[in-house]
Amino acid sequence: MGRSPLLWGLSVACSLGLVVCQLTTTETPVPATATSIAPTVGNNCSTVNTSLCAPCSPGTFYSNETASCSCCSSGSCADALDCKPCQEGHYQHKPGQLSCLPCPQGFYTNTTRSSTCRSCLPGSYTNETGASVCGACDKGYYSFHENSTFCLPCPEGSFCNTGSCSECPLCPDGQEALTEAAVNCSLCPPGMSKGPSEALCEVCVLGEFQPLPGKANCDQCPEDHYCPSPDVNPIQCPSDAFCPAGSSEPQYCMETFFRKAGDTCEFAPLTIVLLTISTIFGLLMIAMFIVKWKQGMGRGMDASLAPLLQTSRTRPKVYGVVCDAEPVYAGW
């Protein structure tokens, strides 16, 4: 007996992998009440239940080996006929999904069928989604943490002369970087220096010198020399001046009145003569003042005692009459 047209059509569909079928050996048509039951897929895609004939559910595909719907594993996605592995730059961490996801910025994957994306390491970055590789930071730039989406310029006083820098080292002693994103350091110019704790070169302080470039420290101007500029060698101190260590200029004794004597200044002969004359003149002035003061005091005492020492005195007159004369009566 030949098969019915319905069974023949289902057989063709099953052979093409479009549906999952369980055929009976009888030729009786399948009852309408049991024509199809849609398969169910669990959240973890661990079970696929099929009964009779039904299309494979999204995220599953028909397997000829098992004659059933199979679930796509993580790292792949399902199309109508098969599971497709995720391409480079994409991933899928859940099974039974219809599409793969692009790696976000700062992450990448350079393999197919990836279930996760990798972080860009320090010194690299990516600012694209779906990246299959991270780009290295350019010279003069760095990234110090994972998942970087951009690189930072090296700050002043530091440099990076290779790619993929995760940090920018400080310039060596005696060298500096005056701009950001420096690839190399330059030597400190004469008259300046830079130590390990400094970011940029600094001018030598007063009384120090450094005539050579690229030095870590300045030197103190030696004794009997002076250093008017920090970028020149010390200059010999003049014979009539003093130059202790650290001098920026010679120190002279006061001209005319003083002269240098060893490590000190002493009075010049002219100064001694002038001081002697001034002292004598001052003493004479003081003596004259004392004599005059004593003379003035003596004259004052004589004047106060004179009225008491007088033996006679002139009698005062009143209206032409002597005060001690006898009164004259007019005859009243």
Q: What is the mean pLDDT of residues 251-268?
A: 62
> How long a stretch of residues is the chain?
332
Looking at residue 289, its pLDDT comes to: 86
Is the pLDDT score of 309 beyond 80? no
Q: What is the mean pLDDT of residues 245-257?
A: 79
Q: Which domain, by its residues, includes 124?
A: 102-187
- Which residues, in sequence order, are CB contacts of 6 under 8 Å at separation 6+? 29, 30
Q: What is the mean pLDDT of residues 288-300?
A: 78
How do residues 90-136 score in pLDDT, each as one tens digit? 999 888 888 899 999 999 999 999 999 999 999 999 999 999 999 99
Looking at residue 288, its pLDDT comes to: 86
Looking at residue 207, its pLDDT comes to: 94
Tokens matching residue 60:
């599953």
Q: What is the CATH number of the domain that holds 181?
A: 2.10.50
Number of DSSP helices (H) and strands (E) in the chain, helices first: 2, 30
How do residues 15-66 score in pLDDT, each as one tens digit? 444 444 333 333 333 333 222 223 333 334 444 444 446 666 666 666 666 6
Q: What is the mean pLDDT of residues 173-186?
A: 95
To 5 degrees, how large is the angle CA 21–CA 25–CA 30? Answer: 60
Q: Is residue 147 part of a domain?
A: yes
Q: What is the mean pLDDT of residues 125-150?
A: 96
More confident residue, 322 or 166: 166
Q: Is residue 128 part of a domain?
A: yes
Q: Is residue 61 part of a domain?
A: no
Q: Is residue 162 part of a domain?
A: yes
Q: Please state the three-class secondary structure of 73-139 as a single string.
A: CCCEEECCCCEEECCCCEECCCCCCCCCEECCCCEECCCCCCCCCEECCCCEECCCCCCCCCEECCC
Looking at residue 241, its pLDDT comes to: 86
User: How far is 143 from 187, CA to CA, in rounded Å?
Assistant: 26
Percent of the chain with pLDDT over 70: 62
User: How far is 173 from 109, CA to CA, in rounded Å?
Assistant: 42
Q: Is residue 107 part of a domain?
A: yes
**Which of 201-217 are b and which e, b meaning 16 or more Cβ less than 10 Å from the residue's Cβ?**
beebeebbbbeebbbee
Q: What is the mean pLDDT of residues 67-85?
A: 73
Task: Give me the phi and psi of 287, to 5 degrees please.
Answer: -65, -45
Closest CA to 61 of 82, 45, 44, 37: 82
Whole-number average pLDDT of the chain: 76
More confident residue, 33 or 226: 226
Type of residue numbered 196: P
Confidence of residue 276 (pLDDT cuts 50, 70, 90): confident
DSSP string, 194-252: --TT-SS-EEPPTTEE--SSS-SS-EEPPTTEE-SSTTS--EEPPTTEE--TT-SS-EE
Q: Is residue 325 part of a domain?
A: no
Is the pLDDT score of 287 beyond 70? yes
**How many distinct structural domains can be found in the chain?**
1
Confidence of residue 206 (pLDDT cuts 50, 70, 90): very high
Instruction: Output the pTM of the full model.
Output: 0.56
Is the pLDDT score of 200 beyond 80? yes
Q: Is residue 154 part of a domain?
A: yes
Is the pLDDT score of 258 beyond 60? no
Q: Is residue 299 part of a domain?
A: no
